Chain A
Amino acid sequence: MRRLAPPPRLVGRGTMYLMALLIALWILIPIYLITMAAFSPKDVIYSWPKSLMPQSFSLETLLFFLNAYGVLASVRNSVIVALLTLALSLVVGAPAGYALARFIFRGKDVYRLMILSTRAFPIVILSIPLAVAFIRWNLYDTVISVALVHTAMALPTTILVTSSVFIGVSKELEEAAMVLGCNRLQAFTKVALPLALPGLAASAIFTFVLSWNEVFAATILTLYNRTLPAHLFVQLAASPLPFRFAGGFFILVPAIVFMFFVRRYLFNLWGITLK
């Protein structure tokens, strides 16, 4: 059977751009609407029909949100939890990634698989026993408990990403450093670490955003010391519209900032080069 001639290249490219545009709009329009609403005064948010153009600029909604009971405290908690998670997962995950990248040891493949399989274990099932354990250890309703769970959730990605980062740093470079007078640790800090730094930073920011956005574990494991997503999750249904928009905006911003800073590195990681 005779095949249809492929469509002219120009059309193919045009379709591709059209699809890219549609996907971009699908993501950007809600972001745009939320942002616009977050910077609009109350009466504009409630007005109907809605306008797609900003009507008036005001910080009223955001201030209302920030001054609402518990919001600032939860933002502070979120930041603390995210930073703790970031530090813990790097301290535990980066050496594990380094070991996976550098050494051949018995059970290496099983180890790698186990790391991944922890992600297959639903946090929903884990959360009740965890809550019980944390109550027993007097850790319930603390930022530490949430950070620990977030670390557990982030570790698989951290380990696998850092291991791929360290694989990218040639072993010969460390050996060269050792021959030139470094001990093992100096070879790591003077050569491997600086070369791995961009990758480690990307992994760290990834962890930060994961923790910043995580709702479920945070909601189960805290009561008063809630993180922002947990706080919003509980409050949202009972909140007025401006509160929801401002909250949505607040959750969005770090993720966008993250994408902006690490996209170059993520693209490299995925094998796409960006000029």
Chain B
Amino acid sequence: MAEIRLKGVRKTFGKVVAVQDVDLTVHDREFVVLLGPSGCGKTTLLRCIAGLEQVDKGRVFIGEQDVTDLPPRRRQIAMVFQNYAVFPHLTVFENIAFGLRMQRKPDSEIEMRVKAAAELLHIEELLKRYPAQLSGGQRQRVAVARAIAVQPQVLLMDEPLSNLDALLRLEMRAELKRLLREIQSTTLYVTHDQVEALSLGDRIAVMRDGQIIQYDTPLNIYDKPADVFVGGFIGNPPMNFIEGQVRVEDDKVKVLTSGGEIEPTPEDGAILRKLKDNRVLIGIRAENIEALPTSAPDALEATVLVVEPLGSHNLLTMQVGDERIKVTTRADFKVQTGQHLWLRLKADKIRWMDKASGRALYA
């Protein structure tokens, strides 16, 4: 096991900069998820670490070794591909044994390690079959078994679950988490699915346009997004952003929105005071807005546009002043389209953003 360290890695394809001077450290035995929309460069970055792409600038370290100029086979890595890349002309056993055979391990050891890897993924009974005789989920298991059988320093996974159907994906997700806990491998996992990222990662690196925008624990990424993009990309529904203007009256800081006034916490107020008369965005998650049936002094009046009962809770689309926002309520909260409600934003859950730059107002 080893850590992965990227220093100023850049990769261009013609004039397109796919990865732009990325610094990233994945600690030993850590599970890091690279998350971003398609085309953000996350797969390219992973392939740079694997050695399947040559970096144009910067260095890649695995453990203490600078592997930038090494071919993939010398990097002591294993990779799971999006389309599994299971060898169709080899049996499941030979697929899992492939890396070990390349290392010229003795047959007895190969046998043992293939069996162990197969057991971890519950595919012991499939060892004699060919990939054509397997389902998509089973092939995925073979691909993962093949990767862990070589006991790599670093495990790289490129959207391994994206080709599975929804139910199977849910099942495999939990199983991958268990498995990776068990083998304690340093893992870098690429996905565009924010739920996968939140549920799997020790840390998440959110990428956009070839850059890492935020690198933090799942909870911090969710609660304290670095900018409007991260807040909108992560979480379902996306974070609400309400525009407002900072007012300072009689030493009190308030933010005026088209739906009414919002009073920040004293700490946030201190930051906002410096932005007097500037426009800001109030970032708040749907579950941090309290819907009240009757008027309250610190609440904004709003009209219900859409009610979506989702079983565990209701999702409301509300009109507040000029803005539309999403609010979640308890499933038993009685509400109808067109009804007026009062919304109270939990001040300590608000993420203040600068309107002009879209970045959070925190150092």
Contacts and interface: CB of A to CB of B under 8 A. Distances in A.
A214 interface: no
Given A180-B98, A181-B102, A195 B88 contact: yes
Given A173-B87, A176-B85, A195-B89, A182 B102 contact: yes
A178 B85 contact: no
A2 B70 CA distance: 73
B71 interface: yes
A235 interface: no
Interface in A183-209: 183, 186, 191, 194-195
Contact of A178 (B52, B89, B146): B52
A181 B71 contact: no
Contacts of B230: none
A172 interface: yes
Contact of A175 (B81, B88, B99, B150): B81
Given A173-B87, A195-B88, A195-B89, A178 B81 contact: no
Contact of A179 (B78, B83, B88): B78
Contacts of A172: 81-83, 85
B99 to A, nearest CB: 4
Interface residues of A, number: 16
A170 B71 CA distance: 20
A172 B79 CA distance: 11
A115 interface: no
A194 B82 CA distance: 22
A177 interface: yes
* Residue from A177, A180, A191, A194 whose CB has the most chain B CB atoms within 10 Å: A180
Contact of B99 (A170, A173, A180, A186): A180
Interface in B305-345: none
Given A191-B87, A194-B89, A195-B89, A176 B81 contact: yes
Interface residues of B, number: 22
B44 to A, nearest CB: 13
B72 interface: yes
A102 to B, nearest CB: 13
B357 interface: no
Interface string B134-155: 0000000000001000100000
Contacts of A186: 102
A1 to B, nearest CB: 49
Nearest to B103: A181
A183 B150 CA distance: 17
A195 B52 CA distance: 21
A178 B99 CA distance: 9
B73 A178 contact: yes
A157 B362 CA distance: 65
B50 interface: yes
Given A172-B81, A178-B52, A183 B73 contact: yes
A105 to B, nearest CB: 13
A176 B89 contact: no
B181 to A, nearest CB: 23
Contacts of B103: 181
B77 interface: yes
Contacts of B52: 175, 178-179
Contacts of B89: 191, 194-195
Interface in B41-84: 50-52, 71-73, 77-79, 81-83
A182 B71 CA distance: 10
Contacts of A170: 83, 85
Contacts of A176: 79, 81, 85, 87, 146
Given A194-B89, A195-B89, A180 B81 contact: no
Contacts of A183: 71, 73
A183 B72 CA distance: 8
A173 B102 contact: no
Nearest to B149: A180
B72 A178 contact: yes
A52 B103 CA distance: 67
8 contacts: A176-B81, A177-B98, A179-B50, A179-B51, A180-B150, A181-B150, A182-B73, A194-B89
Given A173-B85, A180-B73, A180-B78, 13 more contacts: A172-B82, A172-B85, A175-B72, A175-B79, A176-B85, A177-B98, A179-B50, A179-B51, A179-B52, A179-B79, A183-B73, A191-B89, A194-B89
Q: Which 7 A-B pairs have the closest CB atoms?
A: A181-B102, A180-B99, A176-B85, A172-B85, A179-B79, A178-B72, A181-B73
Interface of A: 170, 172-173, 175-183, 186, 191, 194-195
Interface of B: 50-52, 71-73, 77-79, 81-83, 85, 87-89, 98-99, 102-103, 146, 150
